[in-house]
Structure 1
Amino acid sequence: MSEQSGPRRLIAVFASPVAEMLFRFGIELGYRTVLVEPDPTRLAGTPRPHGDTFVSDLMAAEPDEHTDILLTDHHRSEAEIGALLREALTGKSRWIGILGNPRAEGPHVAALRDLGVPEAEIARVHRPVGLNIGSRTPAEIAVATLAGLIADRNDRPGGFVF
């Protein structure tokens, strides 16, 4: 594999229906997947048979230059979102994003500013994520997101304009 397409890793932060779909489809697309869930009370049931690994700390997932990180629940507290994104920005990950409505500024912007993160670093956090296909369901959001990540890895525009 080339350096650009290297071993694909996908870290989904926060257990959510979108994270579940990302793992189902991501495995088929060649991603090694990791779920980061800081709140163990949100982990429902036992690990699913989609190849995912669970950790409670982002750095325990060991993100590297082949890793894409996606926060899958923009309704968590701003403090939690900000702390996790600040941590992600200090690592070596290839790509960082957070789900959310493209028509409103995400909660991560104010949270990162409050933590003193420079604007250039805040701009590294992608939002919206995925292709603009009008996705609404967790499965559609996962398909749009994974297609966008593939486009980005292959240096293609992928229809990101919203």
Structure 2
Amino acid sequence: MVAEFDSIGCALAHGAVEPAPDGRSLVAVFDSPVATHLMHFAATLGYRVALAEPGLDKVTIDANTDVVVTDHDRPELGVVLRDALASPARWVGVMGSPRHTAPHIEALRGLGVPDADIKRVHRPIGLNIGSKTPAEIALATLAGLLADRNARPGGFTF
């Protein structure tokens, strides 16, 4: 049914994709290939989606919103995460390899964000499925968000 429309957003607007009954939203921060896939997949799953580039000042965040920062190298990282933590967002995460130092910690400390709030930032994010491509990273991220939202561990643990 979605193939009849130009985009998943158009299909969602025309009722071809049902929005999730819990009103879930996803804000992808920073335009990137991962953000493009993340928003596409999230819309397919019924999320309301928005792209925040460069910051959160033009998007609506409520208690059903998951905020995913898709670039950990941007100079605005600390400010964006500080603002996300101050919002009513349900979940805040930043992409990045667990093998590298988490740059958001120093950035947030430099802005005076308390350690208790810094610990609310999820990193790494998504399920550990060996993701390499932007689409795989987006898929793993959404699977992790759904697992968290549904109080499930993810993976093959039932």
- Scaled by the length of structure 1, the TM-score of the pair is 0.80
SS in structure 2 of the partner of residue 58 of structure 1: coil
Give CA-to-partner distance per residue, 1:7-56, whole Å, 9 cap, x none: 11000000000000001111111111000002xxxxxxxxxxxxxxxxxx
Q: AA paired with 1:67? A: T
Q: Which residue of structure 1 lines up, in the alignment, with residue 10 of structure 2?
A: none
Aligned with 1:17 (options 26, 33, 44): 33
1:100-139 alignment runs, 5 A limit? 100-139=96-135
Tell me the CA shift for residue 60 of structure 1: 2.5
Higher RCO, 1 or 2 (CA under 8 Å, sep at least 6)? 1
Tell me the CA shift for residue 120 of structure 1: 0.6
Structure 1 segments unaligned to the other structure (5+ residues): 39-56
Aligned with 2:153 (options 135, 152, 157): 157
Percent identity of equivalent pairs: 59
Query: What number of residue pairs does the alignment pair up?
Result: 135
1:26-37 alignment runs, 5 A limit? 26-37=42-53
Structure 2 segments unaligned to the other structure (5+ residues): 1-20
Give CA-to-partner distance per residue, 1:99-148, whole Å, 9 cap, x none: 00112221101000111111110000000000000101000000000000
- Scaled by the length of structure 2, the TM-score of the pair is 0.82
Give CA-to-partner distance per residue, 1:65-84, whole Å, 9 cap, x none: 0000011011212xx10001
**Considering only CA atoms, is the larger Rg found in Structure 1 or Structure 2?**
2
Residue 64 (structure 2) pairs with residue 66 (structure 1): yes
User: Moved runs in structure 1, 4+ residues, more than 4 A?
Assistant: none
Question: Which segment is superposed worse, 10-19 or 96-105?
Answer: 96-105
CA RMSD in angstroms, aligned pairs only: 1.1
